[in-house]
Amino acid sequence: MLNLRNNPMQIIVALFALLLISSMALADPTPAAERIVWDKRPIAVHIQGDQERIIHFPSDVRYWLPDSLQRKVSVVSANGVLYIRAAESFPATRIRVQSLIDQTIYLLDVTANDAKSVSDELVIMKPDGAVNQAKDQTQNRKADDWRVRLTRYAAQQLYAPERLLRGDSQIKRIPIDTEQSIPLVRGHQLNALPIAAWQGGGYTVTAIKLRNNTQRKQSLVFSVSPKTDSINLASTLRGRWLTAATQHEFLGAAGNDTDTTTLYLVSDRPFIESLGFVAAPNKEVKEATDG
């Protein structure tokens, strides 16, 4: 997820989130998170068929899904945490994750089936700071705010199987501001069509269908890339957004069944109003992930 603008409300939301999570912990204790120290060996990650697995890393990360998993899992990345949900069972498949701070590469051997997971949360720590990192990840979990919550909810509503859908009484679906394609991404390489929107906590998340207009595969990134077949959404997105995240990290060539994905944009005002901030590309960009 991309953090596009600092906002004082983030602090207030985080404080309320801390109070809410603390009260929930007293009323409904959950199993302790599974903790693993990274020792350069692949980490086995099991995903239960009807559960979301939350994986904490020591720092912000980006990830790469192999082609075989592109349509089998839903992944949302934010603030050094991966939220993974499987749409179907699959054997052990390797996912590569990279730290954006020190470039450490983590290897996850992910399996999905109906067997029960040890815990819905997995904390990955480094040997030189396991105790401190575990504490930091606990704090990151508690700081999970409405931007992440809305993005995760939207992704689940659009991609999760019907039997896994869960409602949220504090999030409501709202009419989208437009049903026509919009000039959201500079360069004319992508077609953008708003398809759904939800509100909660004073924020709005809008789901945008992105379709590749070119005859070559395009990687979707949130930073400058030396690759010629990549689109840097941090500099090409029009408008003013709090966060942005994509469902998939690449688009196949136009006409391919992988030429479409979903972009989630969170704002503190109506979509069309946020889109109206088109005078210049986003300047204050802090990358959290490009996954």
Segment 77-94, tens digit of pLDDT? 888 899 999 989 999 999
User: pLDDT digit string (tens) for 216-233?
Assistant: 999 898 877 777 788 988
Distance CA(177)–CA(67), nearest Å, equals 34
- In our burial notation (b when 16+ CB lie closer than 10 A, e otherwise), range 126-164 reads beeebeebbebbeebbbbbbbbbbbbbbbbbbebbeeeb
User: pLDDT digit string (tens) for 169-220?
Assistant: 889 999 887 778 999 999 889 999 999 999 998 899 999 999 999 999 998 9
Sequential DSSP letters for 152-169: HHHHHHHHS-GGG----T
Q: How confident is the model at residue 78, as a pLDDT?
A: 86
Helices (H), the chain: 9-27, 130-142, 146-159, 233-236, 271-275
Percent of the residues in the chain that have a pLDDT greater than 90, as a whole number: 32
User: pLDDT digit string (tens) for 249-267?
Assistant: 889 999 998 999 999 999 9
Going along the chain from its start, the domains and CATH numbers come out as: 31-144 (2.60.40.10), 147-287 (no CATH)
What's the predicted TM-score (pTM) here?
Answer: 0.54
Percent of the residues in the chain that have a pLDDT greater than 70, as a whole number: 77
Residue 127 has pLDDT above 90, yes or no: no
Spatial contact of 100 and 61, defined as CB atoms under 8 Å apart = yes
Q: How confident is the model at residue 91, as a pLDDT?
A: 92
Q: Can you tell me which residue has the tokens 């996954």?
A: 291
